[in-house]
């Protein structure tokens, strides 16, 4: 069956969503986040072989890098949105696979996108994207999350890599108005993340990773996929016993929930 054609945005602006295959993490450490941001910067502010500015592939208005998925609010430039995003994801997947000896796809299918054709929706997405880490219980407020573009709007925060066209946003809304909107807690009904309804977890991902590294000697959780079945199953059981839920284990290891549930069921028999 042919894939449905991507809807074109009249304004050229899209809300783009990327997810790790099987909901596995696509960022394992600080350097991984910085690598993705650098690729985003190169798309937004490319330079030629003589280090002179080149026409941009994307204009970026907002982003949020979550452990296993990414939200982008971008405008298409001379390059088609599909080509611009593909260039970023292919480069990042190559980097990730080389670094962690990972084999196979990193991102699930092609990226998802929503057209953004009016100002009200654009502003609501600014709020939604920056509230993602709060909804996922990764921080208490938007100021407390390092891997979102809010640091480019709130200049009191440190910024690792600047990629956003903030002036284009300020042509439409003042910082004070944006700050009030973005920091206003979203209703629970609107806080359900596109990719992870299971983000509200009992144990943080970092604590689970630290446990597996120290107790099981596994450097990268995705490596569990390549272990012997017996060793893999033992680690999966230990992760759940430690306090991770099945969906969380599936998300950060890339192993399907069905496999994990069968391992746990067999252990109970």
Does this model's pTM top 0.95? no
Q: What is the 3-state secondary structure (H, E, C) of the chain?
A: CCCCCCCCCCCCEEEEEEEEHHHCCCCCCHHHHHHHHHHHHHHHCCECCCCCECCCCEEEEEEEECCCEEEEEEEECCCCHHHHHHHHHHHHHHHHHHHHCCCCCCECCCCEEEECCCHHHHHHHHHHHHHHHHHCCCCCCHHHCCCECHHHHCCCCCCCCCCECHHHHHCCCCHHHHHHHHHCCCCHHHCCCCCCCCCCCCCCHHHHHHHHHHHHCCCCHHHHHHCCHHHHHHHHHHHHHHCCCHHHHHHHHCCCHHHHHHHHHHHHC
Residues in the chain predicted with pLDDT less than 50, given as ranges, are 1-2, 189, 191-202
Domain ranges of the chain: 13-190, 205-268
Q: List the CATH code of the domain at 13-190.
A: 3.30.70.1290
Q: What is the pLDDT of residue 176?
A: 95
Q: What is the pLDDT of residue 267?
A: 61
Q: What is the pLDDT of residue 73?
A: 97
Residue-averaged pLDDT of the chain: 86
Q: What is the pLDDT of residue 200?
A: 39
């Amino acid at each position: 069956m042919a894939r449905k054609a991507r809807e074109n945005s009249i304004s050229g602006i899209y809300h783009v969503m990327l997810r790790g295959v099987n909901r596995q993490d696509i960022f394992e450490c600080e350097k991984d986040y910085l690598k993705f941001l650098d690729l985003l910067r190169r798309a937004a502010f490319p330079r030629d072989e003589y280090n002179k500015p080149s026409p941009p592939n994307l204009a970026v208005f907002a982003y949020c890098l979550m452990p296993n998925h990414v939200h982008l609010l971008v405008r298409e430039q001379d390059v088609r949105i599909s080509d611009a995003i593909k260039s970023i994801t292919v480069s990042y997947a190559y980097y990730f696979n080389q670094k962690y000896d990972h084999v196979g796809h990193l991102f699930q299918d092609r990226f998802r996108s929503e057209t953004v054709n009016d100002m009200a929706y654009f502003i609501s997405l600014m709020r939604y994207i920056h509230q993602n880490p709060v909804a996922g219980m990764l921080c208490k407020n938007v100021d407390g999350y390092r891997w979102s573009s809010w640091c480019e709007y709130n200049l009191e925060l440190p910024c690792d890599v600047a990629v956003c066209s903030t002036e284009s946003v300020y042509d439409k809304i003042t910082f004070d108005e944006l700050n009030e909107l973005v920091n206003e807690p979203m209703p629970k009904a609107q806080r359900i993340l596109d990719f992870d309804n299971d983000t509200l977890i009992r144990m943080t991902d970092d604590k689970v990773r630290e446990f597996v590294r120290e107790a099981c000697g596994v450097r990268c959780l995705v490596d569990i996929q390549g272990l012997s079945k017996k060793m893999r199953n033992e680690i999966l059981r230990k992760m759940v016993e430690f306090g991770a839920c099945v969906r969380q284990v599936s998300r950060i290891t890339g192993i399907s929930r069905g496999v994990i549930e069968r391992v746990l069921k067999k252990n109970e028999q």
